[in-house]
Amino acid sequence: MGIAFYAPLKPPDHPVPSGDRRMARLLIQAWELAGHRVELASRLASRNAAASPERRAEIANAATAERARLLALYGARPRAERPEAWFTYHLYYKAPDYLGPSVARELGIPYLVAEASIAGKRAGGPFDSEHTAAISAVRAAACVFVINPADREGVAPLVEPPRRIVDLPAFIDIKAIEALGPDRDIGRRSLAERFGLDPGPPWLLCVAMMRPGDKLASYRVLGSALAQLLDHDWRLLIVGDGPARAEVAGALAPLGEARVRLLGRLEESDVAVCYRAADILLWPAINEAYGMALLEAQALSLPVVAGASGGVPSIVRDSVTGLLAPPGDAAAFAGAARELLVAPVRRTAMGAAARCNARDSHDIAAAAEILDGALSGARQIAAGVK
């Protein structure tokens, strides 16, 4: 079955790495694993970050032209070659879907959405028109996949009957990530030589882009928390880069040059080596949706200390696969990190539990089954089958 795939915030082939782009690619892979043919319907970016009237008009004009292009494109194809469902990933008030609902309606195919976020506080404000468009899209959906459990509260009042809401736990390709990189000892020696690291003390790992806003705020909490742990010997490895690199470096400067290594942006295989070689993954997760790095780390047996924001508690099982702290609380975060820093046996046990949790609850094979089953149900409903 053909699936028209669309991500209004950022297309899956965007050049800048991010968790959003990673999940988009994984969703495409999951659909294909379920036996469907996926095509990228459009690269139209509908993001209007500042509620600019000029940008709003620009997006509206572009969306009108893009809808016409898509309908002409699909209309010219034989029926067997047209998409049989439309799937939109990640729509919210700053990036609504202006294409999928109308194109799906014109083609007479199910319209599906995943990771739709509805913030009621945006009604009547500067983003009111975008907020309204996001609501309209959710109401039009034959199925709403909830990846971040925190989104359920916002979408539930818009979806009737409730069975149209389907839980889709965040997932990764477990087999693919397990195939990356050497084992812990070899990887640790390799990283120590490559970056001039002392392999003796515990290695604390952070994997995140360096952007203004929530990412930078998380780095600042991390710096404040680790400043409370200077009585212990450890090394901090940071994987990531971005426009806020200088600010991140400033937030971590009080920890001392000898303790911190900014490794920059690394290839996926090198990131896997870091996961295997480290002792704890740290991420304060300010306003995080769920955090792909948290899931990837656990799949490679690395316990996590994270902020309990958004959907993070759905990925990190507190006191089982890691420890959670209240979002933004540097003192609590430091306390959680200290607990694991001084307990290597507990870290090992949590790492083993983390790997099992990732394999049992967050693998792409299970996600493919959920997507395929929900699509079958949506097609039956559309066809009038009870």
In this predicted model, what pLDDT tens digit does every residue of 165-175 receive, in sequence order? 999 999 999 99
51 has a pLDDT exceeding 70 = yes
pLDDT score recorded for residue 262: 97
Q: Find tokens 């955090």 and name the residue.
A: 291
The mean-pLDDT minimum among 55-59, 97-101, 297-301, 380-384 falls in 380-384
pLDDT score recorded for residue 163: 85
3 has a pLDDT exceeding 50 = yes
C-alpha torsion angle, residues 300, 191, 181, 226 (rounded to 10)? 20
Mean pLDDT for 252-269 is 95
**Confidence category of residue 18, pLDDT binned at 50, 70, 90:** confident
Residue 215 corresponds to which tokens in the numbers above?
Answer: 């990412």
For residue 38, the tally of other CB atoms under 10 A from its CB is: 20
pLDDT score recorded for residue 384: 60
Instruction: Give the chain's domains with CATH numbers.
Output: 2-171+363-382 (3.40.50.2000), 174-361 (3.40.50.2000)
Mean pLDDT for 122-126 is 94
56 has a pLDDT exceeding 70 = yes
Mean pLDDT for 227-253 is 97
Mean pLDDT for 334-361 is 97
In this predicted model, what pLDDT tens digit does every residue of 282-320 receive, in sequence order? 999 999 989 999 999 999 999 999 999 999 999 999 999
pLDDT score recorded for residue 272: 96
In this predicted model, what pLDDT tens digit does every residue of 374-384 receive, in sequence order? 999 888 776 66
Mean pLDDT for 129-147 is 97
| High-pLDDT (> 70) share of the chain, % | 99
| High-pLDDT (> 90) share of the chain, % | 94
pLDDT score recorded for residue 383: 66
Average per-residue pLDDT for the chain: 95
72 has a pLDDT exceeding 60 = yes
For residue 244, the tally of other CB atoms under 10 A from its CB is: 19
pTM of the complete model: 0.94
